[in-house]
């Protein structure tokens, strides 16, 4: 009843219906600012989130960059040190390593150098490259370089291709060129290969040329052989030592040159070889060339007569044939008499130049250089055994040495059954019908006197105890006997003019007519002398070859080796002996007491 009374006493409040006029009037009466504020709140909230995201992205980018930088620093710290050191070596070392002789004396070095180059595009495509005419510029250059080829320089300056005017200029000359004010005259800095000894040892060293990349590369001699090593960044910092002794090389070239001039020879070759190691102590080919010249590749003298030229070396082969016969047991009794009369065979006659009687023993045959006795000994030996000895000495193939310039021997013609004819065997025994290089002969004599071991020749320095084992060709007893016989030739025979007092020289002369396409030239000889010293303990072999010597007054009007090649050895050995540790001793010599009477009795 109470609730009803309240309701009856006051009129209840009614809620307007949705969408009614009263509802619309209420909405219109509500303030508009509340909706705007709500929208602004939502916008500010969205912008704040966006800003935070952008900040996080930027921070993430910075962190990523920092991580990459740290990783790079770590990589360089742990991995990048080695390339950095290599780059430093590249900057400090010349692009090509040095070459020295066995004692460390420089033979080839690389230095910074300057060239004079004409650049026709120095001003671009606009305007002429030269301020003055090519003729005027060439004339002004001639005041700086008096030996300048003016006509050639004008042609270079008139060309639109450019080119070298001079390959090498001095710094003070370069300054004078700059003062001319010609921008097209450029002075590029290059590297120059310098040979401080000039032509000395040129055929051993060779020379270098620029390749397509403007890098120096070897073109001849040991420069060519050692090209990779000399250019290797890891190796070129250490000089490369050759077997050559510069002092011995100088003495050899000096004496060889004197002998060549005294006999008016066309050319000459000489070798000094260590018999125990195969090291070439000196090698010369005359006339020589200067590897410092820019046009050295056009020199007519770059041909190496010591390793590339093949000659019939005549009687220097006789000791080799006798050694083969002793080794095979064909010659046992050196006192036995052999027929020394002329040999008639296959329409040919073999005779001695100066006959010494109807019979000769083997020591006499070598002392007097008998063709007939040597031929008969070889005939008794047989072509197979003599041929095999020559093959074992490497005379059927190019010589074993590092140089690329190696001549191939002219091996005697074989019959269809693979053998030599009887006549060929006889003529080969005294050095006719077979042509080899002077280096072949030096290697053969080394094996003949060193105990019988053949070793390849080398132009690299061999460390003590590192010599190759080699190949046995002769018995040690045969080698001992040949030392006696070679010494007797220098004491009693054709080698007397090579007998340097105190040095116990032993050797054999050789004189042969020069072979040509149409036969032999009687007026042209190849004179040679192959020697070893000291014969009581052989250390070195010396081979001297003269190409077409003339019978001058210095050679007593004679063209044979006893008068031209052998005297060179006599003058050379006393000069190089002390350098090589061999001193003269008149109280020492090889013991020939058991053979002396075989020669002295007939003399």
For 435, 439, 448, 553, the CA distances from 541, given in Å and listed in that order, are 20, 11, 10, 29
Instruction: Report residue 598 as tokens.
Output: 């075989």
Residues 6+ apart with CB under 8 A from 237: 89, 93, 97
Residues 6+ apart with CB under 8 A from 175: none
- Residues 573, 593: Cα–Cα separation, whole Å: 25
State yes or no: is 315 an active-site residue: yes
Interhelix angle 318-328/383-392, rounded to 10 degrees, is 110
| β 106-118/189-194 pair status | antiparallel
- Residues 366, 187: Cα–Cα separation, whole Å: 65
- Residues 425, 434: Cα–Cα separation, whole Å: 10
For 102, 168, 246, 460, 464, the CA distances from 106, given in Å and listed in that order, are 10, 21, 9, 15, 22
Q: Tell me how crowded residue 405 is: count the other CB atoms within 10 A of its CB.
A: 20
Interhelix angle 134-144/171-178, rounded to 10 degrees, is 150
Instruction: Report residue 187 as tokens.
Output: 């002075």
Coil, strand or helix: which one is 106?
A: strand
Angle, vertex CA 520, rays to CA 518 and CA 525, nearest 5: 140
Instruction: Report residue 156 as tokens.
Output: 């270079």
Longest dimension (CA), the chain: 185
Handedness of CA 301, 307, 311, 316 (dihedral sign): positive
Q: 231, exposed or middle or buried, with CB in 10 Å at 0-12, 13-18, 19+?
A: middle
Coil, strand or helix: which one is 206?
A: coil
Residues 6+ apart with CB under 8 A from 234: none
Catalytic member of 243, 265, 285, 315? 315
Instruction: Report residue 530 as tokens.
Output: 């192959």
Closest CA to 274 of 413, 500, 458: 458
Which residue reads 């100088």 in tokens?
A: 250
DSSP 166: E
Residues with catalytic function = 315
């Amino acid at each position: 009843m109470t609730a009803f009374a309240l309701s009856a006493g006051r009129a209840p409040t009614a809620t307007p219906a949705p969408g009614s006029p009263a509802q619309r009037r209420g909405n219109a009466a509500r303030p508009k600012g509340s909706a705007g504020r709500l929208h602004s709140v939502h916008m500010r909230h969205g912008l704040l989130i966006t800003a935070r995201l952008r900040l996080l992205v930027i921070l993430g980018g910075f962190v990523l960059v920092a991580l990459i930088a740290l990783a790079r620093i770590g990589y360089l710290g742990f991995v990048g040190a080695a390339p950095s050191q290599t780059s430093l070596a590249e900057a400090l070392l010349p692009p090509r390593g040095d070459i020295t002789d066995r004692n460390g004396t420089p033979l080839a070095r690389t230095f910074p150098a300057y060239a004079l180059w004409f650049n026709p595009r120095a001003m671009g495509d606009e305007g002429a490259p030269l301020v003055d005419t090519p003729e005027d510029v060439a004339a002004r250059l001639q005041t700086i370089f008096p030996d300048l080829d003016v006509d050639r320089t004008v042609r270079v300056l008139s060309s639109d291709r450019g080119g070298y005017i001079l390959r090498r200029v001095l710094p003070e000359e370069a300054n004078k060129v700059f003062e001319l004010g010609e921008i097209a005259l450029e002075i590029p800095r290059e590297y120059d290969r310098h040979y401080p000894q000039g032509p000395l040892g040129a055929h051993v060293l060779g020379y270098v040329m620029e390749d397509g990349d403007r890098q120096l590369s070897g073109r001849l001699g040991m420069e060519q052989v050692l090209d990779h090593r000399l250019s290797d960044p890891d190796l070129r910092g250490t000089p490369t030592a050759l077997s050559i002794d510069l002092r011995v090389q100088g003495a050899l070239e000096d004496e060889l040159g004197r002998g060549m001039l005294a006999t008016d020879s066309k050319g000459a070759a000489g070798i000094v070889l260590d018999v125990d190691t195969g090291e070439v102590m000196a090698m010369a080919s005359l006339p020589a060339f200067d590897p410092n010249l820019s046009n050295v590749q056009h020199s007519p003298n770059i041909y190496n007569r010591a390793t590339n030229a093949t000659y019939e070396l005549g009687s220097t082969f006789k000791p080799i044939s006798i050694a083969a016969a002793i080794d095979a047991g064909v010659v046992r009794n050196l006192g036995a008499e052999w027929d020394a009369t002329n040999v008639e065979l296959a329409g040919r006659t073999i005779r001695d130049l100066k006959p010494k009687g109807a019979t000769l023993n083997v020591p006499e045959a070598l002392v007097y250089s008998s063709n007939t006795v040597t031929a008969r000994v070889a005939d008794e030996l047989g072509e197979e055994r003599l041929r095999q000895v020559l093959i074992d000495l490497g005379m059927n193939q190019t010589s074993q040495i590092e140089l690329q310039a190696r001549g191939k021997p002219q091996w005697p013609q074989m019959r269809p059954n693979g053998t030599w004819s009887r006549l060929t065997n006889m003529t080969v025994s005294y050095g006719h019908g077979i042509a080899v290089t002077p280096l072949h002969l030096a290697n053969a004599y080394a094996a003949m006197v060193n105990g019988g071991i053949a070793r390849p020749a080398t132009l690299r320095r061999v460390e003590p105890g590192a010599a190759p084992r080699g190949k046995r060709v002769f018995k040690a007893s045969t080698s001992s006997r040949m030392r006696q016989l070679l010494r007797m030739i220098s004491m009693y025979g054709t080698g007397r003019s090579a007998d340097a007092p105190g040095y116990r020289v032993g050797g054999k002369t050789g004189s042969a007519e020069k072979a040509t396409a149409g036969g032999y030239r009687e007026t042209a000889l190849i004179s040679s002398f192959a020697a070893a010293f000291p014969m009581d303990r052989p250390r070195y072999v010396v081979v001297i070859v003269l190409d077409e010597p003339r019978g001058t007054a210095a050679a007593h009007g004679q063209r044979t080796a006893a008068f031209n090649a052998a005297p060179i050895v006599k003058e050379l050995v006393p000069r190089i002996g002390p350098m090589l540790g061999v001193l003269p001793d008149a109280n020492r010599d090889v013991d020939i007491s058991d053979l002396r009477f075989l020669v002295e009795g007939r003399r």
